[in-house]
């Protein structure tokens, strides 16, 4: 009992100082943070681009994403320029792998919103909605709806691009009742002016079990941005390495190496491709280690009419594919409204 008063006394002078000391600690913390962020900004790092777009240049140079076979016609109709609104009727037939289809698409876009929908003759709908809260922070919803049960998919995603980093969070088919689904988080950070490193974590959850896997990313950019090398490594034994080089104003070349060294399967595929951008046409050529040689030519005859030819020869399987396509753009707008002709002074 007798020990209380002196202790209280000794505490008392500390009491008024304790809020200021906690403020001091917070102040020191925010000071340290401010110093850290100002030091970070003096490094002059630029945004590394999103994880999704890590291999964008390579994918744009290679023709894998552009290739088609059979015959195709796209009738595009621009109805408004600002906000952008267009509808598309696409017909495709005589493909070796796909049945003939007709699909109707509509796109609407203004400064913040992007709405897109596409429906085919079997009633399968694919839709996309992007909403930009600020220019660097975008929420995206993608969905595929089909009348066949089990084929529907929805993906909700938020993308944030900071001054020197990018963060992205995704949920694929999240269930509201038991939390099942696939969740993906990724982070990419510029470390020097040329190098960016990142991680991507995938969390797959079902009512019975859950699984986490993490993969690692690296992106090396040339100082004058004319070449990019990327690597994506998954610890289960999958490595994808790409290299893209802008050889001149009109020529891009890209290489892609995919190595699978899992215990169950060992495989590697290398792809080499080039793209030429000419005045009225684009030509892509590609060669890969599975023996496929392919080429695609997009020729624009008029601003509203373009013609596409594609071909692929599989030397190992002795098979070939050919595709022809036309794209016609029509517009209900006058040239002045489209902004193609400068308005008279």
**Applying CB under 8 A, which residues contact another protein?**
75, 77, 79-80, 82-83, 85, 87, 89, 104, 106-108, 110, 115-117, 119, 123, 125, 127, 143, 145, 147, 152, 176-177, 332-333, 337
In the bound state with another protein, the residue whose beta carbon lies nearer, of 40 and 89, is: 89
Closest contact distance (angstroms) between CB of 174 and another protein is: 10
DSSP 342: P
Closest contact distance (angstroms) between CB of 332 and another protein is: 5
| Distances in whole angstroms, Cα of residue 48 to Cα of each of 32, 34, 56, 217, 328 | 25, 22, 12, 12, 37
In the bound state with another protein, the residue whose beta carbon lies nearer, of 114 and 233, is: 114
Residue with tokens 């109709």: 77
DSSP 343: P
d(CA 126, CA 212): 28
DSSP per-residue codes, 189-231 = EE-SSSEEEEEEEEEEE-SS-EEEEEEEEEEEE-TTSSEEEEE
Closest contact distance (angstroms) between CB of 52 and another protein is: 23
In the bound state with another protein, the residue whose beta carbon lies nearer, of 314 and 337, is: 337
Contacts of 153 by beta carbon, 8 Å cutoff, 6+ apart:
142, 143, 144, 172, 173
Closest contact distance (angstroms) between CB of 335 and another protein is: 14
Closest contact distance (angstroms) between CB of 36 and another protein is: 42
The SS3 call for residue 36 is: helix
In the bound state with another protein, the residue whose beta carbon lies nearer, of 76 and 231, is: 76
In the bound state with another protein, the residue whose beta carbon lies nearer, of 64 and 124, is: 124
Closest contact distance (angstroms) between CB of 87 and another protein is: 6
Residue with tokens 């215990």: 263
Whether the link from the prior residue into 178 is cis, omega within 30° of 0, is no
In the bound state with another protein, the residue whose beta carbon lies nearer, of 116 and 281, is: 116
């Amino acid at each position: 009992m007798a020990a209380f008063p002196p202790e209280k006394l000794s505490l008392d002078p500390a009491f008024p100082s304790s809020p200021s000391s906690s403020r001091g600690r917070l102040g020191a913390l925010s000071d340290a943070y401010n110093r850290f962020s100002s030091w970070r900004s003096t490094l002059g790092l630029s945004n590394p681009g999103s994880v999704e777009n890590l291999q964008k240049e390579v994918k744009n140079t290679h023709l894998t994403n552009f290739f088609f076979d059979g015959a195709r016609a796209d009738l595009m109709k621009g109805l408004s320029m600002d906000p952008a609104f267009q509808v598309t009727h696409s017909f495709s037939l005589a493909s070796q792998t796909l049945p003939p289809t007709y699909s109707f698409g509509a796109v609407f876009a203004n400064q913040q919103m992007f709405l897109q929908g596409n429906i085919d003759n079997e009633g399968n709908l694919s839709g996309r909605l992007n909403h930009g809260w600020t220019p660097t922070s975008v929420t995206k919803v993608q969905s595929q709806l089909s009348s066949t049960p089990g084929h529907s998919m929805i993906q909700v995603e938020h993308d944030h691009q900071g001054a020197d980093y990018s963060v992205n969070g995704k949920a694929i088919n999240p269930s509201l009742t038991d939390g099942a689904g696939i969740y993906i988080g990724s982070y990419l950070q510029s470390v020097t002016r040329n190098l960016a490193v990142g991680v991507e974590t995938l969390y797959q959850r079902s009512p019975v079990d859950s699984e986490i896997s993490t993969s690692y990313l690296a992106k090396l950019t040339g100082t004058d941005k004319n070449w990019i090398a990327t690597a994506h490594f998954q610890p289960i034994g999958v490595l994808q390495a790409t290299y893209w080089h802008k050889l001149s104003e009109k020529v891009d070349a890209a290489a892609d190496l995919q190595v699978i060294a899992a215990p169950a399967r060992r495989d590697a595929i290398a792809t080499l491709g080039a793209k030429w951008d000419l005045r009225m046409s684009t030509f892509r050529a590609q060669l890969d280690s599975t023996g496929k040689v392919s080429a695609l030519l997009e020729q624009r005859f008029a601003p509203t009419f373009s013609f596409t030819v594609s071909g692929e020869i599989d030397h190992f399987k002795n098979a070939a594919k050919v595709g022809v396509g036309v794209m016609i753009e029509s517009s209900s707008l006058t040239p002045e409204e489209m902004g193609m002709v400068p308005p008279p002074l």
